[in-house]
């Protein structure tokens, strides 16, 4: 799909379609949706920042919130190498010296009134963030130096940035920090919520394995380990595959403990040896 802005044809990105759902922690969903609300004609949506350890569900929450609003969702993965043109418009050389201008997922969301998720935004440099400054305040536009155009955001456009609290490469400049508000912190879920997240992602898993992995994660959380539900999903999935090659309770325990070691390392077994499946 292409659109024309100030005489320049832009090729748009496709929305992301992911089979994910947000389970539990409805207060976090409420806060994110509230930040995106517009309550007066002179009001503008906010640009929230989701903070938390890797694997606690920041991107899942953002994606599920966008889908709950009935919008297309576009995810842009930030890295240390992300340049301003990667965030906005990238020129691509076509045959015989012709340039094709390709809009990023973020700019596509701006144009089409979708939801943009800037994933792991604290990996980006200040130079890249600076290109988004006018988008993150009342101006709500970006300027592409490459294409020589100004792109205004659709009134329905919403944006959220996710940031890992242990993977920051660059400190956010203050003028960006003040534009990415509110800060919504996502912590480890309670036991029932964690169990249901595992069940949602592994509907084919046996009850005993899900309970075992849930208890393992809860003990690790209590010890302030950084193991997340994403780790638990990987542990359970690998254990199920290992167990499929054998039968019986003993093999199930061995499969779970082998999976924990292979996914998280030998030290993680301290939360597993007293947590053997029963029944």
Whether 169 shows a pLDDT value over 70: the answer reads no
251 confidence band (pLDDT: 50, 70, 90)? confident
247 confidence band (pLDDT: 50, 70, 90)? low
Query: What is the overall mean pLDDT for the chain?
Result: 91
Whether 273 shows a pLDDT value over 70: the answer reads no
Q: Which pLDDT belongs to residue 93?
A: 85
Say how many residues make up the chain.
279
The rounded distance, in Å, linking the Cα atoms of 103 and 107 is 6
Whether 250 shows a pLDDT value over 60: the answer reads no
Lowest mean pLDDT among 75-89, 239-253, 254-268: 239-253
> Do residues 196 and 60 lie in contact, with contact meaning Cβ atoms separated by under 8 Å?
no
Q: Which pLDDT belongs to residue 272?
A: 86
Q: Tell me what the mean pLDDT of segment 79-96 comes to.
A: 89
The rounded distance, in Å, linking the Cα atoms of 32 and 47 is 9
pLDDT tens for each residue of 177-207: 999 999 999 988 889 999 999 998 999 999 9
Q: Tell me what the mean pLDDT of segment 90-97 comes to.
A: 82
Question: Where along the chain do its domains lie?
Answer: 2-185, 191-271
Contacts of 196 (CB under 8 A, 6+ apart): 23, 24
Whether 167 shows a pLDDT value over 60: the answer reads no
Whether 76 shows a pLDDT value over 60: the answer reads yes
Q: Tell me what the mean pLDDT of segment 88-93 comes to.
A: 92
Q: Which pLDDT belongs to residue 166?
A: 67
14 confidence band (pLDDT: 50, 70, 90)? very high
Whether 165 shows a pLDDT value over 90: the answer reads no
SS3 221: helix
Percent of the chain scored above 90 by pLDDT?
Answer: 75
The rounded distance, in Å, linking the Cα atoms of 195 and 207 is 10
Whether 246 shows a pLDDT value over 90: the answer reads no
The CATH code for residues 2-185 is 3.40.50.300
Whether 279 shows a pLDDT value over 50: the answer reads no
Q: Which pLDDT belongs to residue 171?
A: 82
Q: Which pLDDT belongs to residue 21?
A: 81
Locate 88 and state its tokens: 């906005």
> Do residues 65 and 54 lie in contact, with contact meaning Cβ atoms separated by under 8 Å?
no
For residue 251, what are the CA distances in angstroms to 69, 154, 263? 45, 56, 18
Q: How many CB atoms lie within 10 A of CB 4?
A: 9
pLDDT tens for each residue of 217-231: 999 999 988 899 999
Whether 127 shows a pLDDT value over 80: the answer reads yes
Whether 105 shows a pLDDT value over 90: the answer reads yes
């Amino acid at each position: 799909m292409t659109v024309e802005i100030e005489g320049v044809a832009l090729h748009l990105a496709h929305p992301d379609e992911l089979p994910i759902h947000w389970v539990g922690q409805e207060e976090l969903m409420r806060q994110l949706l509230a930040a995106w609300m517009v309550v007066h004609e002179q009001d503008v949506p906010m640009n929230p920042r989701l903070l938390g350890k890797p694997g606690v569900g920041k991107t899942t929450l953002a994606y599920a919130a966008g889908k709950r609003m009935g919008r297309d969702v576009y995810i842009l993965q930030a890295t240390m190498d992300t340049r301003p043109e990667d965030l906005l418009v990238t020129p691509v050389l076509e045959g015989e010296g012709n340039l094709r201008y390709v809009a990023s997922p973020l700019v596509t969301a701006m144009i089409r009134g979708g939801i943009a998720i800037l994933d792991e935004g604290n990996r980006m440099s200040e130079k890249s963030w600076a290109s988004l400054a006018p988008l993150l305040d009342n101006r709500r536009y970006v300027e592409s130096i490459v294409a020589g155009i100004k792109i205004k955001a659709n009134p329905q456009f919403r944006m959220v940035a996710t940031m890992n609290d242990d993977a920051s490469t660059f400190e956010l400049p203050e003028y960006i920090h003040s534009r990415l508000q509110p800060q919504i912190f996502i912590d480890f879920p309670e036991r029932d919520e964690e169990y249901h997240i595992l069940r949602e992602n592994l509907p084919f898993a046996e009850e005993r394995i899900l309970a075992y992995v849930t208890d393992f994660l809860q003990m690790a959380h209590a010890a302030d380990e950084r193991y997340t539900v994403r780790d638990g999903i990987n542990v359970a999935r690998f254990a199920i595959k290992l167990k499929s090659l054998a039968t019986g309770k003993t093999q199930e325990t061995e499969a779970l403990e082998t999976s924990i070691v292979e996914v998280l390392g030998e030290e993680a077994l301290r939360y597993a040896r007293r947590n053997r499946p029963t029944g």
